[in-house]
Amino acid sequence: MAHEWTAEKLAALLALPDFTEVYARADAVRHETVGDVVHIRAILEFSNHCRRQCRYCGLNSRNPHVTRYRMSEREIVESAEGAWKAGYRTLVMQSGEDPYFTAERLGGLVRAIKERTGLALTISCGEMPEADYAYLRECGADRYLLKHETADPAIYAALHPCGTLEARVACLRSLKRLGYETGSGFMIGLPGQTVRTITQDILLLADIGCDMAGIGPFIPHPDTPLKDVPEGSAEMAQRAVALARLVLPKANLPATTSLAVADKEARGQVFARGANVIMRKVTPDPYKGYYEIYPAAFPPTDVARERQELEEQIATLGRIPV
Ligand code: SAH
């Protein structure tokens, strides 16, 4: 389906007063390309140490109010086995940019988990040299998730004292070259963002050739420099998901946690607007509560029960949990 998407076309759609028809188109494309399945992925947040200072993120290294933790290698492997036994087939291993977890240590974990389970592994541990991404791939990592956060270089620079958009995108292109299923994504509601920025975000996903994109509203965290910036719009986030489905018909598009935090109803709705993936935290207590990127209340972790409930919720949406 050749379709020339331009910033102008996307901006015109985003500005529509009523998005019902675009949502319906996104839902139809989703049905045709990736079917009615909803993929349930587990996410394990194994360390909240971070060397970076991203101004929106509660885990940034300048926030003194975080209880920092680092799960042991044994705890990580056991949590992965627990997710496998509960029926998960994909595990996202996420952390801050924690210098303790060198590529060598991460690679050891990937190998250990691959030996004990049949899990597909997504790594989400930030920016690394290409050689490290290559090493992790050799160890068996299948996918990598690294959101570009915003496609506007000036907004990117204002929010990331430790990096540039250019470096971020270079990492994504390395991952793609190395054969990873590559995930990016961005936030809605960052200061300075306009409809134009969002069209650039969507076109950047296409330019990189992303296999996955996580799109969610910005949620202010009280211990960050962005504490007084209003929360991003859940409606705009869903519009961006729908357009991402039109531009990247076969991509995996999650109903993000931040979308559910901004608007409880939206997490169900977005599955009829282009989304086809959901992630569930399997991070053990009490660590789960300490991984506070943005404020959110999560019930105590019960991996098997939560998985069961989620399957039932997906079925009530008329979709097939996998
Ligand atoms: N260190 C890893 C993981 C980052 S945390 C990395 O750099 O990729 C995962 C994602 O949470 C980020 O990519 C960002 O898009 C999102 N995030 C961080 N702070 C947020 C906030 N205040 N509101 C909404 N999303 C946020």
Residue 65 makes CB contacts below 8 A (sequence gap 6+) with 223
* pLDDT tens track for 309-321: 999 999 999 999 9
Report residue 47 CA to chain centroid gap: 16
pLDDT higher than 50, residue 1:
no
- Ligand 1 centroid, distance to 94 Cα (angstroms): 10
Contact 236, 256 (CB under 8 A): no
103 lines ligand 1 (CB under 6 A): no
Nearest CA to ligand 1 atom 12: 147
* Residue whose tokens read 């349930």: 40
pLDDT tens digits for range 74-118? 999 999 999 999 999 999 999 999 999 999 999 999 999 999 999
Catalogue the E-assigned strands of the chain. 37-47, 90-95, 120-124, 143-145, 181-188, 212-217, 277-281, 320-321
Higher pLDDT, 297 or 315: 315
Structure tokens at 158: 């204002």
For residue 181, name the pLDDT band (cuts at 50, 70, 90). very high
Q: Is the CB–ligand 1 distance for residue 90 below 6 Å?
A: no
A 10 A CB-CB count for 18 gives 7
pLDDT at 14 over 90: yes
List pLDDT tens digits, range 220-248: 999 999 999 999 999 999 999 999 999 99
Cis amide linkage into residue 217, ω under 30° from 0 = no
Task: Kindly give the distance from the C-alpha atom of residue 40 to the centroid of ligand 1, in angstroms, as a whole number.
Answer: 20
Distance CA 216, CA 296 (A): 14
Amino acid identity of 81?
E
How many CA atoms are closer than 13 Å to the CA of 180, on its beta-carbon side? 32
* Amino acid identity at 25: R
- Binning pLDDT at 50, 70 and 90, where does residue 156 land? very high
Q: Is residue 94 within 6 Å of ligand 1 at its C-beta?
A: yes
**What's the rounded Cα separation, in Å, for the pair 296 and 191?**
21
User: Which superfamily does 7-321 belong to?
Assistant: Aldolase class I (3.20.20.70)
Listed by start position, the domains of the chain span 7-321
Q: What is the pTM of this model?
A: 0.96
CB 186 within 8 A of CB 200: no
| Residue 40 predicted with pLDDT over 60 | yes
High-pLDDT (> 90) share of the chain, %: 96
